[in-house]
Structure 1
Amino acid sequence: MTMRSFLSVRRSLALAAVAMVGAAACSGGSEEAAITTPVETTASEVTTTTAVEVTTTTAVEATTTTLAPAIIRQPLTGEPLASEADFVERPAMAVKIDNHPGARRNHSGLAVADIVFEEKVEGSLTRFAAVLHTQDADPLGPIRSGREQDVALLSSFNEPLFAWSGGNPGVTALVRSSSLVDIGAPSYPGSYYRGPGSGPHNLYSDSDSLYSLTPEGHPGAPPAQYGYLDDGQVFAGAPGRNVSFSIGSIDIEWTWSDEEQRYERSQEGEAHVDKTYGRIGAENVVLLGVDYRQSSIDQNAPEAITVGSGLVSVFSNGEYLSGTWERELATSPFTLTVGGEQVIQLTPGQTWVELVEVSTPGEVPAFEVS
């Protein structure tokens, strides 16, 4: 098989995977086979089929009605696509972004990431794993080190590129033995540079430079991580225009903007602004209640447990729903449901996932809503 043929097959499989996720989301997870079922016939009716494909034949004329095909979407934003040619085939790229007070004024790239995870690290601070796919960023940073918890958190993105400043020997060995593709500064120092700020809060790169490090034969685009609403559908729940909570010592608030039709982020009482791309916001904010344990590699670092289950609250369209998150394997996306059955479908757009610590596994993440 030639490389061109291989790429064509790989692209078709990725598109099919996204289309199947969209179809499952539309049907609430149920499947119905298109099987022709014999029925008693009359002079004017011969056969009928299920709702997937309906065919009616009469003695006078034959007509066929078929439902619209499944929507093709960008996998990490749920954006509906007009054409398969618009599908972004490159890998997902996770970039570790510093949230130390010395780094915040120089944040760049967070505002254009498809999905951002916020996790607790040592010192009661937080750090971000910004997952890029559909948009580029220049610069990206400040970039900092990884943690053991990143491997489980990010393994569902189909061998994501992992941009980081490095880590201790144990974390480095873990990353390099995982499905994450190490494109960090220790391995590729020429793709990173020192910029605004003081060390160690001043390491940067850009998406073009980092994507150029994609290894030959990479499997390509990530699978969809969540289900999304269709055109004409609106996220509905309890009123939730403002939500505030803490991760470690960081006080966080998301406020619904009628003008922007999205939530805008503040931390420590100040608007959170991306130096290059403006006010940081998201169509969806997911508060994931997780247990933090001591890392088995670094006794000073917490480890968020993101495989298993817990409680979740999802904010979108100025409203929210509370339910359950489940994840059987690190390579599986999170499943978000109400009552363990109805899948919570997000508004197409950017999503922030806040790993909110709970004192007891299965406890509701603490937040205030108004």
Structure 2
Amino acid sequence: MKTSPPARLCLLMAATVILTLLPLVWGLAGCGATTTGSPPTPTRTPHPTSTPTPPPTSTSTPAFTPTPTPLPPDVNPLTGERVDDPSLLDRVPVAIKISNWPGQYVWPQAGIASADLIFEHYNEGWFATRWTAVYLGEADRVGPVRSGRLIDLEIPAIYKAVLACWGFSDGVLALFRDSDLYPDRVVSYSLPETLDPDPFYRDFSRDVPLEHTGYTDPARVRAWAEAHGVSGRQAGLEGMVFSEEPPAEGEPATYVYIPWRELDAEWYYDEASGRYLRWSDGSRHTDALNGQQLSAANVVVLYVPQWDTDIVEEPHSGALSIQFALWHSNRAIIFRDGLRIDAFWQRWDREDMLTLTDEEGNPIPLKVGNTFFEVIPTEGLEVVVEP
């Protein structure tokens, strides 16, 4: 009998009980274009209540990062999409920190469907996630905007972006002040000496706690950046590779399940649109600006070493900031066109783009369109993939 995704997620909860206990073993250790039409009704079966076994880890890593091939001036370097007016690409990318928990206060977020790239990662405490959205284009409104995390020291450097986040914990703030992003590539209320013009505002139209009322948009952030001397097309954005046609290799993968502890993420491949549709905790995850379901041309799982630091991120609970070693190389899985392609991600120097390659270092192309990156630990959490 066919089951709806919400019903199916209930069946999955038994399978995730053990996964939710995994952080105790570790030490107790906030997309893209939309698609029209209704997604197909999945015909999945419940997963066994056993801890999934990670796929084999190759003992070799790519030997080199290929020299990037410059894209034509009318092609978005973050999506591979052509634009009618190349001047629309003559702007600095913007990275905005967005809340993803708790769902009853932050869903649906605004402006996600306009992002070129989204990074989802664990928040402190290893139970919920937060997003960093990267925009070369525009969005009328983006949020709720929340505080930055250690991973946000890396993402703006990769994509030559200006980072906008509401604030920082004291320990993380000290690292940002000491980074090459300060003072002209990071804007936050924790940095009042550079907060002019203020790109943030509050929206009280929803009955939610104050911390979930902050918003901005890429145009406001770019206005701030221009006032601080940063504007125009950024050098070094080459490196992402795209293709309309899927590669010959790959195994069928029409369903991807990410067992985050408090809000499971599911991606269902919609053959009609050629995109993966996002579900969160059994419900369609939509954008507040248009009500349409979030979708991605590419879903990329990045296996990234992660660990608790000695920085207290949440004073009330004592939860510690998580470090994300988004440098050097590790495993990745690319999902595009209903296929799974095993890969490696590479980033050897701070200013390098994040590239996806095979074991020989040859680039693996993404599908033209937006990409949603799932940044998961190298151990203790495994995606479930079904053909």
Structure 2 equivalent of residue 104 of structure 1: 106
Distance 1:139 1:191, change over 3 A: same
Q: Partner of 1:368 in structure 2?
A: 385
Query: CA offset at residue 86 of structure 1?
Result: 4.3
- Within 1, Cα distance between the matches of 2:363 and 2:386? 22
Deviation track 1:67-119 (CA, whole Å, cap 9, x = no partner) reads xx964421111113567x34511111110000112433240011110000001
Maintained 8 Å contact 1:107/1:274? yes
Q: Distance in 1 between matches of 2:305 and 2:210?
A: 31
**Structure 1 SS opposite 2:132:** strand
In the superposition, the TM-score normalised over structure 2's length comes to 0.71
Q: C-alpha displacement at 1:207, in angstroms?
A: 2.5
Q: Aligned residues, how many?
A: 299
Contact 1:327/1:335, CA 8 A, preserved across alignment = yes
The Cα of 1:137 is off from its aligned counterpart by 1.5
Distance 2:159 2:242 in 1: 17
Separation in 1, partners of 2:277, 2:239: 22
Alpha-carbon RMSD across the aligned residues, in angstroms, is: 2.6
Aligned pair partner of 1:149 in 148, 151, 154:
151
Q: Would the aligned equivalents of 2:71 and 2:77 in 1 still touch at CA under 8 Å?
A: no
Q: CA separation of 1:334/1:30 partners in 2, compared to 1, >3 Å: closer, same or farther? A: closer
Structure 1 match to 2:22: none
* One-letter amino acid matched to 1:198: P
Residues of 1 paired with 2:327 and 2:66: CA distance?
21
CA contact (8 A) 2:246 2:336 kept: no
Counterpart in 2 of 1:184? 188
Q: Which amino acid aligns with 1:305?
A: A
Change (3 A) 1:241 1:206: same
> Equivalent residue for 1:92?
93
TM-score by length of 1: 0.74
Asked whether the equivalents of residues 311 and 365 of structure 1 are also in contact (C-alpha less than 8 Å), the reply is: no
The alpha carbon displacement at 1:267 in A equals 1.3
Q: Deviations over 1:243-266 (max 9, x none)?
A: 112234331111111232211111
- The alpha-carbon deviation at position 142 of structure 1 amounts to 0.3
1:193 pairs with 2:213: no
Q: Is the 8 A contact 1:235 1:319 kept in 2?
A: no
User: Aligned runs of 1:1-370 on 2, under 5 Å?
Assistant: 29=66, 71-72=72-73, 73-81=75-83, 85-86=86-87, 88-101=89-102, 102-123=104-125, 124-134=127-137, 136-158=138-160, 160-180=161-181, 181-186=185-190, 187=192, 188=195, 190-195=198-203, 196=206, 197-215=208-226, 216-218=228-230, 220-222=232-234, 223-229=237-243, 233-236=245-248, 237-277=250-290, 278-298=292-312, 300-359=320-379, 365-370=382-387
Q: Is the 8 A contact 1:103 1:142 kept in 2?
A: no
Which whole-Å CA distance do the structure 2 matches of 1:219 and 1:193 have between them? 22
Higher relative CO (CA 8 A, sep ≥ 6), structure 1 or 2?
A: 2
Q: Partner amino acid for 2:100? A: N
The aligned amino acid for 2:164 is A
Structure 1 pair 241–91 and aligned structure 2 pair: CA distance change class (3 A): same
Contact preservation (8 Å) 2:343, 2:359: yes
Q: Quickly say closer, same or farther: Cα 1:202–1:353, change in 2 above 3 A.
A: same
Stretch of structure 1 that moved more, 181-190 or 138-147: 181-190
Deviating 4+ runs (over 6 angstroms): none
Which one is further off, 174-183 or 318-327?
A: 174-183
Contact in 1 for aligned 2:286/2:293 (Cα 8 Å): yes
Matched with 1:50 is none
**In the superposition, relative to structure 1, how do residues 70 and 167 fare at CA in structure 2: closer, same or farther (>3 Å)?**
closer
* Deviation sequence 1:18-76 (CA, Å, 0-9, x none): xxxxxxxxxx9589xxxxxxxxxxxxxxxxxxxxxxxxxxxxxxxxxxxxx96442111
Distance 2:108 2:71 in 1: 41
- Structure 2 Cα separation of the partners of residues 289 and 358 of structure 1: 5
CA contact 1:149–1:304 (8 Å) conserved in 2: yes
- Percent identity over the alignment is 28
Structure 2, unaligned runs of 5 or more: 1-64, 313-318
Q: Kindly provide the CA deviation profile for residues 336-361 of structure 1, in whole angstroms up to 9, marking residues without a partner as x.
A: 1122333110111100111011228x
Conserved? CA contact 1:76–1:225, under 8 Å? no
